Copies of this chain bind each other. A is one copy, B any other.
Amino acid sequence: MSEPRAADETARAPEGAPTPPAGEEAEIPPFGADRALSEGFVDSVAAAIEAADAEQLHALCDELHPADMADLLGLLHEDERVRLIELLGGGLPAETLAELDSDIRESVVLALKPEKLAEAVADLDTDDAAFVLEDLDEEKRAEILAEIPVPDRIALHQALDYEEESAGRLMQREVFAAPAYWTVGQIIDRLRGSDDLPDRFYEVFVVDPTFKPVGSVPLSTLLKTPREVPISQIMSDRELRLIPVTMDQEEVAYLFEQYNLISAPVVDESERLVGMITVDDVVEIVHEETHEDMLAMTGVAAESGLSDSVIETARFRVPWLVVNLFTAMLAGSVVGAFGATIEQIVVLAALMPVIAGMGGNAGTQTLAVTVRALATKTLTFSNAARVVMREAGVGLVNGLVFGVLLSLLAGGWSLFMSGDPDRSVKLALVTGSAMTINLVIAALAGILIPLGLHRLGADPAVASGIFLTTVTDVTGFFVFLGLATIVLL
């Protein structure tokens, strides 16, 4: 209570960030107001690299949290990155390697001295070690594995044998398990005597004689319980979810999120405990998978990152754009088919992108909501019919609102320009009806495209934005120009 009030707000910013490195030369605060590394800090690192000032670089970087150091590497040019690693002595702390973004990981790993890399990899839990090595080519990987002590090497080989994005790849093999008849005291004594424990863990898994997990005890429960109590009395299986090594990481993330898990046991095909997945790895996957949905909707391959080269990036984006070129030409050919109509009533050419564009955006809204609902499993086959009806309803309401609005605007404008009430009413009717119909179809396409992809076992997000705009363009043009041809000519 005697503590003086903290100084003013700005002096404390960024809140939650670590204090700046203590070194005398590090005068620029490493973090900006947005808690990211500041422009000034990154510039001073780049300047020190330019000057080949190793001492200054150590002063700037040594106190950085591994996650921030990994970010710093991502913010530098590729050649600066390589120079920085050289100037720091050819090595990086093990934890920094585990935090690298996947698009710069390979270039960093290749810049490290092999012995320093092997040393760092041996230091990591198996999941992080596998993550560091997974992108390397066979030869390079073998070279590094050869430098790692045998037991670690075997564990790593096994980890790398699991498929990428599987639970087996995500798990660490370091795990603490105990039989149900042990007491709390026995467990604590064992923990104090052991030096082969995971770096951090949150639960003790209880296993039967075949090493199958049958329950778990959170460490907080263990600490609250007297020494003589057997763990069979305090363990629970309600929170226990056995994760098969083959499970996809997206499913793993779903289970963690759904059941608020902190860690979970991974089992082989005989349900024997072989490892553990912890929530800190899952947080990143939740983020990644959700972002993947966002990117996939627009037809971007998710491996694409900010550090890829221009050509590489273009390559990731071109495939769906090629598809889009042909679907757009399909839409264009619909317009072409009504060339005679447009030639006679050229105002149609100005109105048709309004109708198609509104359909595209309204449909994309439905699409985003649907992709999200499928990912969170709030949309399942058990309520799909109801949700489709509801979206169609929303499309109809929006369609009527915007149909009326646009018909008034188009009709009024036509009356003002031509002074022909009969023709203006007809144009208003055609425009309004086309808008209403297109928004209903947009809503249906927005939900049926991802649902259909999901039913086919595909990713419901993939390129769905491109399919959707095709539907809304084609039907928008066709309905509008078709109606116009019938009513106005």
Measured between beta carbons, the chain B residues less than 8 angstroms from A259 are 65, 67
Q: Is residue A313 within 8 Å, beta carbon to beta carbon, of the partner chain?
A: yes
Q: Is residue A488 within 8 Å, beta carbon to beta carbon, of the partner chain?
A: no
Measured between beta carbons, the chain B residues less than 8 angstroms from A343 are 343, 346
Q: Is residue A418 within 8 Å, beta carbon to beta carbon, of the partner chain?
A: no
Measured between beta carbons, the chain B residues less than 8 angstroms from A351 are 332
Chain A 342-362 interface 0/1 with B at a Cβ cutoff of 8 Å (1 = within): 110011011111101110111
The one of B295, B317, B339 in contact with A394, judged by C-beta atoms closer than 8 angstroms, is B317
Are A310 and B262 in contact, with the CB atoms below 8 A? no
The one of B67, B357, B375, B398 in contact with A469, judged by C-beta atoms closer than 8 angstroms, is B357
A392 to chain B, nearest CB (A): 9
Measured between beta carbons, the chain B residues less than 8 angstroms from A42 are 382-383
A83 to chain B, nearest CB (A): 17
Q: Is residue A367 within 8 Å, beta carbon to beta carbon, of the partner chain?
A: yes
Q: Is residue A10 within 8 Å, beta carbon to beta carbon, of the partner chain?
A: no
| Copies per complex of this chain | 2
Are A311 and B16 in contact, with the CB atoms below 8 A? no
Chain A 14-28 interface 0/1 with B at a Cβ cutoff of 8 Å (1 = within): 011110000000000
Of the candidate stretches A136-144, A153-161, A195-203, A419-427, the one touching chain B is A195-203
A469 to chain B, nearest CB (A): 6
Interface residues of A in 247-273 (CB under 8 A from B): 247, 251, 254-262, 269-272
Bound form: Cα–Cα A204–B172 in Å: 24
Task: Knowing A290-B294, A294-B297, A377-B35, say if A361 contacts B465 (CB, 8 Å).
Answer: yes
The one of B218, B369, B401 in contact with A318, judged by C-beta atoms closer than 8 angstroms, is B401
Bound form: Cα–Cα A251–B34 in Å: 9
Q: Is residue A79 within 8 Å, beta carbon to beta carbon, of the partner chain?
A: no
The listed residue with most B CB atoms (<10 A of its CB), out of A226, A298, A390, is: A298
Measured between beta carbons, the chain B residues less than 8 angstroms from A17 are 241
